[in-house]
Amino acid sequence: MTDDVMTISEMCAAFEVTPRTLRFYESKELLSPIRKGQKRLFTRRDRARLTLILRGKRFGFSLEDIRQLLDLYHLGDQQRTQMQRTLAVARERLEEMRRKHAELETAIEELSQQISTGEQALARTAADEPEA
């Protein structure tokens, strides 16, 4: 790590993704590593963005959804109206995430309930068969 940048293979190891994935994300303008000659060098900014990308994916957001959200994290170099649009998108996503959060809580309770019901059913039949 000469400076503060990482090669593609270091990135792959650190984030458990393939080179193809990183190049793909770059082609979709989710990442923008600098170039030293041909080689890509990923900065701290790229790492921060990749963290957000992978997190977003875990919640079922599309890459396009995520791309829009990412803009929020480099606000400043934007025009007023563009910034307002970005903020609007972000507020919508935030609402969506809050809904998901609440819904996930319900789902967790339900599944948890189902599991203990299942466990009890298992326990009742356990008397028949002795332990292996």
Partner DNA sequence: AGATAAGTTGACGTTGACGTAAGCATAACG
Partner DNA sequence: CGTTATGCTTACGTCAACGTCAACTTATCT
In three-state secondary structure terms, 102 is helix
Distance CA 81, CA 111 (A): 44
Residue 51 interacts with, from DNA, its own copies, none (CB under 5-8 Å by kind): none
8 belongs to the binding site for DNA (CB under 7 A): yes
Least Å from the CB of residue 4 to its own copies: 22
Within the chain, strands assigned E span: 34-36, 39-41
The distance of closest approach from Cβ of residue 74 to DNA in the complex, given in angstroms and rounded to an integer, is 20
Note whether 32 binds DNA by CB under 7 A.
Answer: no
Q: How far is CA 18 from CA 9, 10, 68, 87, 103, in A?
A: 8, 11, 23, 32, 32
Helices 44-58, 19-27: crossing angle, 10 deg rounding: 100
Give me the residues that bind its own copies (CB under 8 A), please. 55, 57-60, 69, 72-73, 75-76, 80, 83-84, 86-87, 90-91, 93-94, 97-98, 100-101, 103-105, 107-108, 111-112, 114-115, 117-119, 121-122, 125, 129
Binding site for DNA (CB under 7 A): 7-10, 18-21, 23-24, 28, 37-40, 57, 62-64
